[in-house]
Amino acid sequence: MTFIETRAAFTVRAAFDTAVKMRYPVLAVGKAGLGKTVALNRIAAQSGAAYCEVAQHTKAIRPMFLMLHDAYGVQRDSKHTYDLAKDCMNFLGARYGPTRPLLVDEYQNFTPTVLRELLHLQHCGFALLLAGNTHRLAGTRRDTHAVDQIESRIGMRFEIGQPTREDCVRIGAEHNVEGADAYEAIVIYGENTSLRALCHLLQNCAAGTSGFGSIRLPRIETTLRGMSCGSDVLRLLHERRNDFAHNVSGPT
């Protein structure tokens, strides 16, 4: 599917450009499902930046060093944490040439201690963009001192906002949505959920048409009735219809 320039994509790109320019750690945060990971992978493909995603098996210190080796394609010559850290200092410190920027997705899965170690590595001067969800780091209740240190080392913070009307319209066009009333429905849905949820809705609608033809309002309404939050969206849509009809008819 074609990459769509959404608000999230613009925000993540601005955060990346700032990280490259400032050489300070930059943070981009937002709710899940707003298109952050898609934007990061796009930037990595275009710029050659190293990309990694923090998961359960990579959130401790030694696995974090291994993750960095893999992200930069550096061979691991030792299994010991100290040696792995030393290797990271070498290839992140531009000892072997200019260091590519580093994009870290789902950074909130790090514990404060591990993230602090990564920020210590960033003193080498490479561009670092941390991206993730707005909820707090793992284990922050137990290590408030580390959190304070982390906050002081972040150069700038970017907030990834909710999808805009333009985002929803672009995605609708990509999925062959047809009709002003159908676009109004997906805008209401997208603005009140996420880009991921909107894409899932439209994919379900397309499946109902067997992949042929356009997606119109009746198909969207039918699909929404089978979804957990669909009733709220249908109610909002009907309220807007009534408001529009009232405004058109004017006072009696």
Per-residue burial over 166-182, b = 16 or more CB atoms within 10 Å of its CB, e = otherwise: ebbbbbbeebbbeeebb
190 domain residue, yes or no:
yes
Q: Are residues 105 and 223 in the same domain?
A: no
Q: Which of 131, 160, 189 is the last residue of a domain?
A: 160
Distances in whole angstroms, Cα of residue 199 to Cα of each of 58, 99, 196, 202, 224: 29, 36, 5, 5, 13
Nearest CA-CA partner of 105 in 42, 61, 194: 42
Nearest CA-CA partner of 130 in 162, 102, 152: 102
At 115-159, the pLDDT tens digits run 999 998 888 889 999 999 876 666 555 556 666 778 778 889 999
Q: Are residues 137 and 186 in the same domain?
A: no
Domain interval for residue 28: 7-160
Q: Are residues 179 and 131 in the same domain?
A: no
Residues near 134 by beta carbon (within 8 Å), at least 6 away in sequence: 29, 30, 31
202 domain residue, yes or no:
yes
Nearest CA-CA partner of 19 in 54, 44, 55: 44
Are 102 and 127 a contacting pair, CB within 8 Å?
yes
Rounded Cα distance, 160 and 141, in Å: 25
Q: How many domains does the chain have?
A: 2
Q: Are residues 44 and 98 in the same domain?
A: yes
Report, in this order, helix, strand and coil percent for the chain, each rounded to 5: 60, 10, 30
180 domain residue, yes or no:
yes
At 63-108, the pLDDT tens digits run 999 999 999 988 877 778 989 988 888 888 866 567 899 999 999 9
200 domain residue, yes or no:
yes
Q: Are residues 23 and 143 in the same domain?
A: yes
At 163-185, the pLDDT tens digits run 999 999 999 999 999 999 999 99
2 domain residue, yes or no:
no
Give the domain CATH number at 26: 3.40.50.300
Q: Are residues 119 and 154 in the same domain?
A: yes
Predicted TM-score of the model (pTM):
0.85
